[in-house]
């Protein structure tokens, strides 16, 4: 089981020296990966009063490809992931190109975590359709995987047309690992067909999580793919509970088949997640060290 952490922009900000120190410190602590969130636009006060969740995107977010490209050059072993990139509000071929370049420049240390988003403000501002984002994302996965695998692609779909064209560079392995976030009823069938992994954050460490993991494995088999080839990344937090509780939860996820565990020190988006009390870079790094020390025997 690999261990990573979500970068705590909300507390530490995005100063170049700060994000570099955070990544290098994680690498020194023995973390396997760093994860970066994504938002292009955030709603202002008027929009936020009409749609309260839109205000969430009003914080500071570096563009993930720019950020992770910078951090890849500042590290040697640490891997990176988007958690998650809102792919449906972007041009598909451009995302495929950006992901391929990051894969090449980082030496294959990148996973592309994708989602369909929830904030219509961003889709309006980026001139994309909010209402068909899920259906478009299915075709986007196929287009990106074709562009990564083949030097020239001919594709004619409902939303994309490529006429014997390709990207250069392409990832050396012929693919960028494609992981899905989200919990919509259509998410699991998409993972079963096209995904290399799933990044859920809504489930408590109980039988309900094991049941949904089992459902994903069955869908993957039905799609003619090996379930063992599809990873699961679970988010965890340490804002409450004792060290024994943290270890018990991590052990549960490992036994349940989780391949990746992502520590979130600021995330409060789900009922079971609690942020740490401190807000400085030192506070977040101390929490990361403490957590790594507690669960190290499970890695």
What is the CATH number for 122?
3.20.20.30
Beta bridge partners of 196: none
Contact 266, 10 (CB under 8 A): yes
Q: How far is Cα 214 from Cα 54, in angstroms, rounded to an integer?
A: 33
Tokens for 217, please give them: 């494995």
Band of residue 125 on the pLDDT scale cut at 50, 70, 90: very high
Task: Quickly state the pLDDT bin for 94 (edges 50, 70, 90).
Answer: very high
For residues 194 and 145, the answer to whether their CB atoms sit within 8 Å is: yes
Residue 9 has pLDDT above 60, yes or no: yes
CA-CA distance, 90 to 99, in Å (whole number)? 13
Where is average pLDDT lowest: 25-29, 36-40, 52-56, 84-88? Answer: 52-56
Residue 162 has pLDDT above 90, yes or no: yes
| Confidence tier at 57 by pLDDT (50, 70, 90) | low
What whole-number percentage of the chain has pLDDT above 70? 94
On the question of pLDDT at 49 being above 60, the answer is no
Domain count, the chain: 1
pLDDT of 215 over the 70 cut: yes
> Average pLDDT for residues 260-277, to the nearest whole number?
86
Q: What is the mean pLDDT of residues 113-142?
A: 95
**Separation CA 59–CA 56 (nearest Å):** 7
270: pLDDT confidence band, cut at 50, 70 and 90? low
DSSP state of 4: E
163 band by pLDDT with thresholds 50, 70 and 90: very high
Query: Per-residue pLDDT tens for 177-186?
Result: 999 999 999 9
* Residue 227 structural domain: 2-298
What is the reported pLDDT for 51? 59
Q: Answer whether residue 65 shows pLDDT above 60.
A: yes
Q: Which helix (H) or strand (E) holds 178?
A: strand 178-181
Average pLDDT over residues 146-164: 98
pLDDT of residue 235: 95
What φ, ψ does residue 250 adopt, rounded to 5°? -60, -40
Q: Which residues contact 253 (CB under 8 A, 6 or more apart)?
A: 1, 205, 234, 236, 261
- In angstroms, the CA 82 to CA 86 distance is 9
Helix axes 64-73, 16-29, angle to 10 degrees: 60
Answer whether residue 50 shows pLDDT above 70. no
227 pLDDT higher than 70: yes
SS3 content of the chain, % helix, strand, coil (to 5): 45, 15, 35
Joined together, the tokens standing for residue 295 give 């669960």
Q: Which helix (H) or strand (E) holds 99?
A: helix 92-106
Residue 46 has pLDDT above 80, yes or no: no
The reported pLDDT for the residue numbered 273 is 87
Mean pLDDT over 93-113 rounds to 98
Q: For residue 284, report the phi and psi dihedrals to the nearest 5 degrees.
A: -70, -40
pLDDT band at 290 (very low <50, low <70, confident <90, very high): very high
Write down the pTM of the prediction: 0.96
Of 260, 238, 234, nearest to 247 by C-alpha is: 238
pLDDT at 271 over 70: no
Helix (H) or strand (E) holding 262: strand 260-263
- Counting residues of the chain whose pLDDT is more than 90, the rounded percentage is 88
Cβ-proximal residues to 55 (8 Å cutoff; 6+ apart), any chain: 42, 43, 48
Higher local confidence (pLDDT), 74 or 274:
74
């Amino acid at each position: 089981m690999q261990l990573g952490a979500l970068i705590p922009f909300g507390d530490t900000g995005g100063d170049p020296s700060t994000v570099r120190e955070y990544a290098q410190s994680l690498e020194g602590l023995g973390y396997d990966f760093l994860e970066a969130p994504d938002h292009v636009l955030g709603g202002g006060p008027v929009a936020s009063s009409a749609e309260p969740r839109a205000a969430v995107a009003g914080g500071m977010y570096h563009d993930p490809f720019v950020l992770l490209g910078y951090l890849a050059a500042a590290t040697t072993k640490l891997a990176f992931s988007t958690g998650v990139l809102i792919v449906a509000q972007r041009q598909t071929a451009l995302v495929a190109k950006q992901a391929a370049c990051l894969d090449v420049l980082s030496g294959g240390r990148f996973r592309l975590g994708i989602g369909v988003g929830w904030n219509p403000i961003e889709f309006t501002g980026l001139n994309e359709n909010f209402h068909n984002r899920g259906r478009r994302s299915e075709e986007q996965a196929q287009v990106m995987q074709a562009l990564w695998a083949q030097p020239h692609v001919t594709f004619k779909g409902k939303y994309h047309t490529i006429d014997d064209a390709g990207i250069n560079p392409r990832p050396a392995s012929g693919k960028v690992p494609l992981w899905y976030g989200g919990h919509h009823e259509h998410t699991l069938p998409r993972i079963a067909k096209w995904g290399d992994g799933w990044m859920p954050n809504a489930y408590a460490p109980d039988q309900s999580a094991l049941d949904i993991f089992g459902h994903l494995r069955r869908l993957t088999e039905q799609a003619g793919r090996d379930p063992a080839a599809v990873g699961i990344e679970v988010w965890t937090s340490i804002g409450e509970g004792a060290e024994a509780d943290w270890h018990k939860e991590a052990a549960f996820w490992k036994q349940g088949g989780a391949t990746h565990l992502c520590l979130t020190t600021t995330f409060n988006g789900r009922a079971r997640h609690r942020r740490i009390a401190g807000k400085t870079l030192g506070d977040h790094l101390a929490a990361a060290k403490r957590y790594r020390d507690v669960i190290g025997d499970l890695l």
